[in-house]
Amino acid sequence: MKLRDIVVEKAIIAPLKSTKRDDAIRELVEVLATQGAVKPALIDELSKAVIKREKRGSTGFGHGVAAPHVKTTEVQRVFVAVGIAPGGLEFQALDKQLVHVVFLLLSPEDRPEEHIDAMECIFGVLTQDKFRRFLRQAKTPAEVWGLLEEADSASQSR
């Protein structure tokens, strides 16, 4: 699985307008809806589901990165939106640091293996310090997409 297979290119927000975790989650769900990944009528429901999942345990795994996610019957394949928060978001991350890069993942409830593959794909690149640093500095969706392309190419050559 490649990042470009799961990230919706037009669902990259750099920079995020939101300054709070829950608002950023909603902003990312909204952009997925505007791109046809989910029905606009489901924005509230999906945002609440992701936030509810966050309350069970933060997906802010440290190093300025979070990957909020939820499995739902409302999608037939994995969809990811990406947000860059230059000022940082309080995500109750494991390392207590602010989050600057958010990968929001929606995946089909009946295909848990796809959810796991997507999470592995995301974490595979987000564990790389250099990649995180460049992502955090990205100022436009095009810059983020370019970094995702580079990461996919680099993982292919390994």
Neighbours of 47 (CB within 10 A): 22
CB 119 within 8 A of CB 105: yes
pLDDT at 158: 53
- Classify residue 96 as left (phi > 0), alpha (psi -120 to 50) or beta: left
In Å, how far are 11, 84, 120, 123 from 141, measured between CA atoms? 8, 9, 22, 20
What is the pLDDT at residue 157? 61
CATH 3.40.50.720 for domain 3-156, yes or no, is no
Helix (H, G, I), strand (E, B) or coil at 80: strand
Residue 60 half-sphere exposure toward CB, CA atoms < 13 A:
23
Q: pTM here?
A: 0.95
Mean pLDDT in residue range 126-150: 95
Phi, psi of 29 (to 5 degrees): -65, -40
Max distance between CA atoms of the chain, in angstroms, equals 42
% the chain with pLDDT above 70: 98
Tokens 């990205």, residue located: 138
Domain ranges within the chain, ordered by starting residue: 3-156
The arithmetic mean of pLDDT across residues 38-51, rounded, is 97
pLDDT of residue 154: 86
